[in-house]
Homo-oligomer: A and B are copies of this chain.
Amino acid sequence: MRTAKVHRIPTASPDDVSGLAAAIASGAIAPEGILAIFGKTEGNGCVNDFSRGFSVSALQALLRAHVGAAADDICLVMSGGTEGGMSPHLLVFEVAEAAPGGPSPALAVGRAHTPDLPSEHLGRMGQVRAVAEGVRQAMVAAGIRDAGDVHFVQVKCPLLTAARVREADARGATTATSDTLKSMGLSRGASALGIALALGEVAEAALSDAAICADYGLWSGRASCSSGIELLGHEIVVLGLSKDWSGPLAIAHGVMADAIDVAPAREAIGTLGVSTGDDTIVLAKAEASRSGLIRGRRHTMLDDSDISSTRHARAFVAGALAGVVGHTDIYVSGGAEHQGPDGGGPVAIIARRIVAEQR
C-alpha cells in the first residue's frame, strides 16, 4: 500500500531550493520518493518569464545531487505569475510506504512521459491522442481504474520554435502554425482535449484538428496544461483517489463557471469533509472570458495593452479562491484553452480529511 505526501514549501526567489534541501536534510522528504514538483514562480507567466527556467535549473541541480539520473524522471511543472497576493511556493508530491490501517481510498499520484511529439502533430489530433495515451498510462501508474476517480491532470507540453518548424518543413511536413506564441496555446488546447478524451469527458467523434482552439464548447473539467520550451514530449501528472493508496490526504474537484464562481471550490471542500484551513491545497486555472463579460458585465482584461489578460485573470481568480480558503499559497495558473468553460476553469482541492485525523 502506497501513501501520498504533499509538501508545501515557500520560496524566497525562483532559484530558492533551500526549503526543499532542508526538508531532505531533516528526513522530512525522502528524495527518491519525489514523483513531481509543481511551483508558482514570480515571473510574468508569459513568453519572457525566465523565473520558470531558473527554478527548474536550481531544482534539477539539487535533485541530481541526491538521486542522480533519476532526477530526470521527476516532473517539474513551474507556473509563472504570482499576481495579486499569491505566494511563491513549491508543491512536492512524494510517494512512500503507507502505515498499515490508514484510510483508503486516498490521494493517488501517477505520472507518465510521452515520446517526443513530431512537430507537425502539435495542436492537432496527433497530440490529442498522444496525451490521451499518456493520461491512461499515468492512471495505471497511479492505480486509478475509473476515470471518475481522476480529479486533476497536470500536463507540461511542448511548443514550436522556428528551428522545429524548419526541421518539419525540411521533412516535407507542415506544422499547424509557425507562430511560436500561438503554438503555446494550440499545444495547451490539444493537451486539454487529450485529457478530456482519456477521461471520457468528450467523445473522440466530436474532436478534429479544426476544433482545437476553435470550438471552446469542448473542454475538460480536470485539465491543467502549460507549455514549455524545454521538452519535446509531455510530462503528465494524474491526481485522484485510489484504493491502492491510503493515508490522510484526499482530493476533490469542481468546475468554476466563471472567474468569480467560488461555489465549486466550497463544494469540493465540503465533499472532502474538511474545514477550510491553512493546509488546504488549491489547484486552479484562470483566464479572461473571450466574451469580454463576467455574468453579463464588461471586463477590461482583453483591452489592456499594459498588462496581459493572463496576469489580470490570475490575480483576480486567486483573490476569489484565497477569500474562500483563507491563505495565499495557492496554485492558480493561466492559459486555459479547453480547460473548463470560457472564462472559468477546473479547481481541485487536496486536504487532510477530518475523519482521517480522528483515527
Contact = CB atoms under 8 A, between A and B. Distances in A.
Interface string A60-78: 0000000000000000000
A119 interface: no
A84 B44 contact: no
A48 interface: yes
Nearest to A323: B320
A126 interface: no
Contact of A87 (B294, B303, B321): B294
A90 interface: no
A147 to B, nearest CB: 30
Nearest to A305: B46
Contact of A50 (B14, B85, B86, B319): B14
Instruction: Report how many copies the assembly holds.
Output: 4
B57 A88 contact: no
Interface residues of A, number: 60
A10 B307 contact: no
A48 B57 contact: no
Nearest to A304: B48
Interface string A293-309: 01101111101111110
Interface string A14-50: 1100000000000000000000000000111011111
A297 B328 contact: yes
A262 interface: yes
A307 B83 contact: yes
A323 B260 contact: yes
A79 interface: no
Contacts of A316: 83-85, 315-316, 318-319, 322
A40 to B, nearest CB: 10
A295 B50 contact: no
A248 B295 CA distance: 25
A259 interface: yes
A53 interface: yes
A51 interface: yes
A100 B83 CA distance: 50
Contacts of A242: none
Contact of A88 (B300, B322, B324): B300
Nearest to A262: B323
Interface in A110-128: none
A44 B291 CA distance: 22
B326 A324 contact: no
A338 interface: no
B326 A323 contact: no
A308 to B, nearest CB: 5
A13 B327 contact: no
Contacts of A305: 44, 46-49, 308
Interface in A69-109: 82-89
26 contacts: A15-B50, A15-B54, A15-B57, A42-B303, A42-B304, A50-B51, A50-B54, A53-B54, A57-B57, A84-B315, A85-B299, A85-B316, A86-B299, A86-B300, A260-B319, A260-B323, A295-B326, A297-B328, A307-B311, A315-B315, A316-B316, A317-B319, A319-B319, A319-B320, A319-B322, A320-B323
